Structure 1
Amino acid sequence: MMFVAIVDYFMGNLRSVSKALEHVGLNVVITQDSDVIRKARALVLPGVGAFRDAVRNLKALSLWDEILRFIESGRPFLGVCLGHQLLFERSYEFGEERGLGVFEGEVVLLPTKVKVPHIGWNQVWKKRESKLLEDIKDGEYFYFVHSYHVLPKDMSIVVGTTDYGIDFVSAIEYENIFSVQFHPEKSQKAGLKLLENFKRVVLNG
């Protein structure tokens, strides 16, 4: 059976992510098992909480290198919120912490001139054509809950940005890697459309 694996590393409510993926017609397995991840057609790394806790939990579960191997295999990968941030080299939340380093860049605090954390609906503006945001209108609203944002060294991977004191990166697409700062599972019709687009990638490449 073809299925999508969601990584369970004790960081956030995974049932809402699972239900949203199931709603668009994907078979989903929530797992901490490396063997299950190796057999998955696609991998989703969600997460809410502190970057440092996420790193420690993934390493304690022996999933850190497994995630990197999965991404390197070329199969579809979707990072959500904290899972989006973990793709980068380092974060400065509670001191410097090394990330997965899939992309060059860092994770920094949103500007202090705005209310942090950034919670609620905000617009995503398209930077270029992408599979993930296909048939989603420019400036569509998605639901955010975060205090930090990513600063990629290579801006060509960016497919969406959001204005909150600054224009921060809210969606990334590069080869088999997709990631978003917002929560598609909490973003109603727009979020489900994005997950349908991810499903199309999972099924067809």
Structure 2
Amino acid sequence: GEVASAMAVETLQRYFQTHWREEELPDKETIREGILEANQAIYDVNQKNARSGSGRMGTTLVMALVQDTNVIVANVGDSRIYGYTRKRGLEQLTIDHEVGQREIQRGVEPAIAYARPDAYQLTQALGPRNNNFVNPDIQYLEINEDTMLILCTDGLSDGGLLETHSQTYLHPLISSKANLEQGLTKLIEFANRQNGHDNITAILVRLKVRPNQKSIMS
């Protein structure tokens, strides 16, 4: 996973250097092509090394592109992006690509969907299979108030940890005076004590919205 995730990051960084003009965000198809390029890079290594089954490299992906007050979030797998604002609190912006969620989208009751033994099995990831099996979710969002984005692996989100403790660990960080790095370290330490069964990777992005001239004057 570590090698696959590094390959995905490197491929996407290189891709967006030539596919993201400064004035505007890329369109959905451009983003989709970049994600598929990352998948192909990892898949090719798997094929070259004749890896099979659990020996195949793979990684989940969450990505946020920010341009002024416009944001694109994209995901593959069960890593998540959350948004946090003072008004709305914590909101999950992505849907996990796993069997339980797939069944819910087919109309199955959540309790039944997650009673399955394979409920948390991924339905897609980058690397294990070719591009025909990768279908990233891509959403456009407009930010109209100070917002924090939380990009994280499931080690941080498992067990409703963020939903339960967002007021304690996230709310103070929306302030410009708060140190994001220290706040994230505290959050990860807490998650390790609570959920310590999984590796945790997380990024916090604080977006501050300047009031426009009209609202300042009124």
TM-score for both structures, normalised by structure 1: 0.28
Structure with the larger helix share: 2
Larger % of strand: which?
Answer: 1
TM-score, length-scaled by structure 2? 0.27
Larger Rg, first or second structure (1 or 2): 2
